[in-house]
Each structure stands twice: as C-alpha cells, then as structure tokens.
Chain A
Amino acid sequence: DAGVTQSPTHLIKTRGQHVTLRCSPISGHKSVSWYQQVLGQGPQFIFQYYEKEERGRGNFPDRFSARQFPNYSSELNVNALLLGDSALYLCASSFMTGGDGYTFGSGTRLTVV
C-alpha cells in the first residue's frame, strides 16, 4: 500500500510568489492535516480537513489556504511568500479526525529566496 505522498519534494520560490503543495492520503483515510516545520523545531499545525470540510486551523495568516478534493487528496496554497515561509511542509493522513493515528508524508521542502 502506498503511504502518504506529497509533491513536489523540493521547490524554490521568490518572495511574493504563490505556491501550491499537494498531498495524497493513504487509501481509505478521509482526513488530511497540514503542518509546517521550521528547521530545529517541531511541526506546527496549519489545517485539518475531513470529508472535504475544514475542521481546524492553526495560527497562520490568511495567506495560507487549503482544500480537500472528493478523492480526499488535498492542496495547500500559500500566497505572497515571505522568507519566513521557508520550511518543510508535512501532510498527515488519518482515517478520521481522532488522534488514533496520523501517518506523515515525507514532506515538501520549500525555500523562499
């Protein structure tokens, strides 16, 4: 079985640009969460989606948005990129929204220059 897949694995963007990150959850998992991990820190919660609806949002500016599609895959969008947005963006899938088990993808390394 395929795990959580994220694309792209790496990308470099310029300040002010827009970026879209993609995530495909484990087959059968209906919930996708996004986390930002800055170097040397633990992951920070950005969004949680379940059955295509936003169920939670972390303390991030409105430049961050996300959505979940009917096949449960998800996109994270970041507008007007800042240098401080440089981080590893992680997607986690779970069957429901409970804390019973989150499986993480390998992440997308975003560098903003």
Chain B
Amino acid sequence: EDQVTQSPEALRLQEGESSSLNCSYTVSGLRGLFWYRQDPGKGPEFLFTLYSAGEEKEKERLKATLTKKESFLHITAPKPEDSATYLCAVPGGATNKLIFGTGTLLAVQP
C-alpha cells in the first residue's frame, strides 16, 4: 500500500537555526514527490516537485532533495515567516491521487 510518513511531527527553531524535515515514502513506481507549504486555515501552496533520486530543487531558504526511499526539505537560516506546516505527497493509484503525510509543523522563533 502506498504510504507517506513525515518526521518530526513538530519542530521549533530559532531564527537562523538550520534544520531538515524528512519524508519517507513507499509507492509502487514513483511518479513524483511533491512538497507543499500550508498556513493555518489555508490550502496547501506548491513548493517543489522531484522526480528522480539525486534530484535537488531550491527556492529561497528551502532546498528539497530526493533519494529512492525518502525526501528531505532543508531549511537554511529560517525566518519567522517560514513558520507553517510542510506537507509531502506522492501520486498513487491509477488516478494519481495525492497521498499525503501528516505534515511537519514548523515554528521559527525570532
């Protein structure tokens, strides 16, 4: 069964303190891995898509990487405005429905 697991569930950082979020996945035939950012009460906002092991993508203070079993979202020198829930998802089944992890709630304190 296709599955996505994210860790940690919650992470509190000081401004400028770099860290990484983990997304482990089990899927039959990876057709991409998506990272989204979600602010409270809002819909997920697309960040990155990764398709193959070794691929990396960057956007401002965020860098996403992919291996055959997991993906990491690296946050370098975070700012308070980076505080949000970060969701990881993979397309699964015949319809490419997104299978989400439970997310990592990131809080960056000034």
Interface of A toward B, CB cutoff 8 Å: 4, 6, 33, 35, 40-45, 48, 55-56, 58, 88, 90, 92, 97-107, 109
A-B contact count (CB 8 A): 68
B93 CB contacts on chain A under 8 angstroms: 56
Answer yes or no: B64 CB below 8 A from chain A CBs.
no
Q: For A6, what are the chain B residues with a Cβ–Cβ distance below 8 Å?
A: 43
A55 close to B100 (CB less than 8 A): no
Please list the residues of chain B having a beta carbon within 8 angstroms of any beta carbon in chain A: 4, 31-32, 34, 36, 41-46, 49, 87, 89-91, 93-103
Distance, CA A53 to CA B31, complexed state (A): 23
Nearest A residue to B45, CB-CB:
A104
Contacts of B96 in A (CB 8 A): 97-99
Partner of B41, one of A100, A105, A109: A109
Beta-carbon contact of B43 and A48 below 8 Å: no
